[in-house]
Chain A
């Protein structure tokens, strides 16, 4: 008469595995439990699903839209067309809708390194590392509006309520360390992006895959230590009391899984109390290192500190670190890459804040042999228009949002380096070769981390959700 659930089951089904957060410690704990308990076939379903090139990733996420035609996508034709009008009947899908005359790049481009990749003087330090970069010149977005575009870049969807890339990766792979969160977020000191915690949300995934914000100061993670003064001895004794009582309660319940997970969580919490301050304290780094990151220079201090911290976190087994460049979107002067008023002024400031630190991070990872199994991602919400944002007969100083084609880059594990891929048209407006929508970008990142993006799913309200929605083609051309 009715279909009945396949019961009873003694072993976890595939859905149980991926929904393990309902009852357990998340993916890592699950895998270790499965090793004790489950049949071989189920263990094979674990992650990573095939040998991973990258074990960890650091994502530098630019808020507001970096101009590709002024940085990583050289368009000599723009010099020729400077001051001419855009010949089209189309009403471009931009934000303010003011289409001025075409406007040439504001920075000089030059071939860099052995690879000869064209990179502009906007990023002199990063340009020195051209041979380590994999530049994507045909990124594209569905939205030319900040918030949907930022959500899309992070979660594959344009709205609140979907897990971010860092959450998916953490959910799938867990952490390499049990004493730090799997996914750490470091915000710009000018503020968090507009979407706030929704940007690094685990949404419907278990909260263990939520991005954890590290703040400056002596309590980098909220509630790491008592919020009001508690004597150290009393704190210690209370924790011992809790553990002792919980151990007794566990034994009364025939080792119930929830209770054993609780006991374990307190052990891990104690470890975290040691690890977090240790990792956040950069005072042990050499003067040479801090100088390289620009920690002591006012302009680069914020990003320098965060890049250095990012490396330290990765070193200690954090799976995914996300750094934001840019704070809230509106306001004056802008605190993000949203160069509506003046590309030259705005990007000079923004690039000046991050160029040296990001280059230092790359060098440092390389020097420590970490770049071979670390993925560095450098992305922005969308690019900027080749035409000025001004009256139709003017070449104004600003540029509007361009979702049709823009640039980002990756570096590190499993990638062809000193390599640029994809192409926009001769003025840098629209993609003409192998567009890379965010779903393809995400599929590629997951692939590099050993995950088939179609397999990393989580049931939520009627559908096995995934980072790539129902899309996603790996950009095979950039794989080494």
Chain B
């Protein structure tokens, strides 16, 4: 047994091998002393060893081992055999000085005294402080670590109340407490509860009415089945899972860079729930999906590993780097331990766990198993996708050749003709400044000569931009309000996002307007602006050609703030207007090319600019057309179509259509092939050592990858060497976690599901089944559920079914008053389940319910999230500020919201949506004035109130009475009471329907699930 003696404050340890014969963990019988093991050792373990054992025992005194105990501590010998009165240990105990704060009781004192008086015979040499559970900590016998046990539901005469096993267990506890279950909920409350619980959306009033008319068992079952097969089920339950694994879409820390490609993990989780993937498989895929399913799916699943924060600024010193890595590993292993097993293994980083039987060494064993953890992006595609892509590319190439043959001839003819009748060419409008980029960056009209920043050059009469460079002009000579930005631009690729072709901006780029490609809408041209204040989508077609040839883009900024886009002289989508026009003052503004705005770090364009111009007025459509056709070499599609002969026209059109379809197809496939995922990038596994006190410069023994021994019924040894390959380590870890014999694996998940259905888990700390966690309110029920879940194949949908069809689940939240008073008096927290606990909707449900009620919910599932924040990179950090977006895309469910850390809107934040900085196994539920303000005043709420009112008017017409009925039905699935109707009528009469809609969103009935 290696002994460590604490030497000095520099944390240097001498390793003294006292006896080579005593191997690690071996137990030596020092003497026959049953008394010691039975009576004294448990007292020492419970009251003394927390301080007086381990690597650095307090006062130098180690009471866990006979030799060290007898030797004493810094104050010398503490136990004098047969003489308690001179034994320092007894003196301290007798005077209540030790143990501090919680002195021993008289029986315990007597036992210690007797033991010393009788010669202080030692029993088992090494007292394992984890051997038994004590009042201060858990031992190996801790309830949650024991193998699962079969339990039988009690038989009770319930008068028909018991529907399934759950009810039997619950009823017995209620009766023990002399309580009665509540009546069954009203059909309305029941349907609403079921909808929000299973899919997170409110039911249609008609659904409620149907069920109320026929509230049969069959009808109830049908509802449950329908909801469990809805795509919305996965969206609802996937969101719960994302809370637990603290999934966020930015890196956190100083840089907090966005992770635009983290969403495949979110989609994978949702799909896994929807396809009822067995829970063990669900977990296995998240841990080792890259090994199980190489390609996209596996890579998406292992996004689990990198869902948390990642510090990318770790400083110059070696110590900082090592610490940052250790912090990262601790954070991730904490989530692994708590998510799947309810073990807070992270608490054993610096010392043995203070409350649970987890050794410090075991923390490092687990760390070794995940030491290949790496964060990053990779591309992934399936083999079918690759083959299909090649085939499409070949077909496309053939079509393009045929097309080129026709078009090139026409183009040549047109250009030749132009040369001959030069006068007929439409006159292009006069610009304020114009850059031809033929040989330099000069303004050919005025003095706004550009200068280069970074690696830019002129080639073949175009400005070449490499995606990290730009050109800027000196300050504008005059104020610019109405304006037109014009550019002939060609792109290196269509995947790029956020690059600006030409921008007008204030000096430091804080305010700007820009012709931007693909920023909020990949593949589209959009009018970029600071904080998106003037930005909206034109909803024009997806750009497909700008890689092959220059397109002519012009954005016209009219005096009333309307922005109109043109592509090749033809209007691009529809005009947008969000804000009044922005003025750019003389001498304080300038033009830049190739960058969205000067303070942007992600706004660079890759491509070439052939020509550009700035007009100090809003050009008309005709002028734009003229401008678009001014370079003599360029011929538009339309001109070609008009030029070619009648005979050729059909072939041409057909080829064009084919080319378009094929291009679309190819682009989609290419996008798939190039799609990036933010996911686990495994590194080589590291040889891992125990770090004493968690200090990276205080290196202890090397450890093999392994797990926690205290979890009973399963082997924690991975039988791997310290330098085992990364994939094997992780595989063994996954096997240990998901082993059906791992009792925590099933207990944790059934409790989690229970928690989300009932508001509180059977254990009220879903991430912690250790000593500091809660104790089960219904231990036998928890056990029964865990066994049942495991034995029926880890099926989650079946499990929901079991829960929601119980009588326990179907109880009313607000029953008759006397029963409520009984229940409240005995069990205010409703842990015994004498009613259904009323719950407030979570942030996402509040938002989704408003969308649904307003008739605006966009049910599109999957894919990149919608973005309702501005993403501003400023001096090395990224700021996310909520902005008001008004597009169908943003009307998707909140789970599809791009979710950067530090970027919640006040509406989500005040409704306790977690910031995904750390795991959120249960959300706080607060009610604050700021929450009330958000629900009244947030732009989204006002917007939805308007849509809601519009929907009601469309459905029932202008009669106020009908409007009131319908609005109440849609919002809370019931008619108003007479009183409520009167209040509503008055409100609508005086202030319009929208006021009522806004009010209804703020009622307790709307945000409360009974």
Contact = CB atoms under 8 A, between A and B. Distances in A.
B606 interface: no
A467 to B, nearest CB: 16
B1003 A245 contact: yes
Contacts of B252: 159-160, 198
Contact of B768 (A23, A94, A271, A462): A462
Interface in B976-1010: 977, 979-980, 983-984, 987, 990-992, 995-996, 998-999, 1002-1005, 1007-1008
Contacts of B991: 231, 233-234, 237-238
A82 to B, nearest CB: 25
Contacts of B996: 238, 241
Interface in A97-139: 97
A224 B931 CA distance: 10
Given A4-B779, A198-B902, A23 B347 contact: no
A459 B765 CA distance: 9
Interface stretch (B74-82, B309-317, B560-568, B706-714): B309-317
A474 to B, nearest CB: 18
B317 A91 contact: yes
B926 A144 contact: no
B942 interface: yes
Contacts of A22: 922, 924-925
B366 to A, nearest CB: 15
Which secondary structure dominates chain A's binding surface? loop
B983 A224 contact: no
A250 B1005 CA distance: 10
Given A22-B925, A462-B768, A3 B876 contact: no
Interface in A246-277: 246, 248-250, 252-254, 256, 258-259, 261-266, 268-269, 271-273
Interface string B919-940: 1111011111111111011110
Interface string A175-193: 0001001000000000110
B612 interface: no
Contacts of A254: 814, 817, 820-821
Interface in A206-242: 206-208, 210, 212, 221-228, 230-231, 233-234, 237-239, 241-242
A207 B909 contact: yes
A239 B996 CA distance: 10
A206 B926 contact: yes
B828 interface: yes
A206 B914 CA distance: 10
Given A234-B995, A237-B990, A26 B928 contact: yes
Contacts of A93: 317, 319-320
A23 B922 CA distance: 12
Residue with the greatest number of chain A CB neighbours at <10 A, chosen from B820, B929, B1002, B1007: B929
Given A10-B828, A144-B315, A181-B930, A195 B977 contact: no
A239 B338 contact: no
Interface string A278-318: 00000000000000000000000000000000000000000
Interface in A138-159: 143-148, 158-159
Contacts of A161: 309, 915, 917-918
Contacts of B338: 461-462
Interface stretch (A66-74, A327-335, A342-350): A327-335
A24 B927 contact: yes
Contact of A197 (B318, B825, B915, B987): B915
A97 B317 contact: yes
A263 B315 CA distance: 50
B331 interface: yes
A198 B901 contact: yes
Most buried by A among B919, B921, B924, B977: B924
B143 interface: yes
B37 interface: no
Q: How large is the interface on A (under 10, 10 to 19, 20 to 34, 35 or more residues)?
A: 35 or more
B327 A21 contact: no
A262 B708 CA distance: 45
B254 A94 contact: no
A253 B979 CA distance: 17
A191 B918 contact: no
A249 B820 CA distance: 16
B937 A461 contact: no
B831 interface: yes
A231 B875 CA distance: 41
Contacts of A250: 1004
Interface of A: 1-10, 16, 21-26, 91-97, 143-148, 158-162, 178, 181, 191-192, 194-198, 201, 203-208, 210, 212, 221-228, 230-231, 233-234, 237-239, 241-242, 244-246, 248-250, 252-254, 256, 258-259, 261-266, 268-269, 271-273, 327-331, 335, 459-464
28 contacts: A10-B826, A21-B924, A97-B317, A143-B315, A144-B317, A147-B311, A158-B327, A161-B309, A194-B877, A195-B902, A201-B917, A204-B918, A204-B924, A207-B909, A208-B926, A237-B995, A238-B1002, A241-B995, A245-B983, A245-B1003, A246-B1002, A246-B1004, A249-B1005, A265-B928, A273-B933, A329-B254, A330-B875, A461-B334
Given A268-B928, A328-B876, 14 more contacts: A143-B320, A145-B313, A195-B877, A196-B880, A223-B907, A237-B987, A259-B1008, A262-B927, A263-B1004, A266-B929, A269-B936, A459-B765, A462-B767, A462-B772
- Listed from nearest, the 8 A-B pairs whose CB atoms lie closest are A462-B344, A331-B875, A2-B779, A330-B876, A161-B918, A227-B939, A161-B917, A268-B929
Interface of B: 143, 149, 177, 252-256, 309, 311, 313-320, 323-324, 327, 331, 334, 338, 344, 346-347, 355, 763-765, 767-768, 770, 772-777, 779-780, 783, 813-814, 817, 820-821, 825-829, 831-832, 838, 840, 874-877, 879-880, 882, 884, 901-902, 906-907, 909-910, 912, 915, 917-922, 924-934, 936-939, 942-943, 977, 979-980, 983-984, 987, 990-992, 995-996, 998-999, 1002-1005, 1007-1008
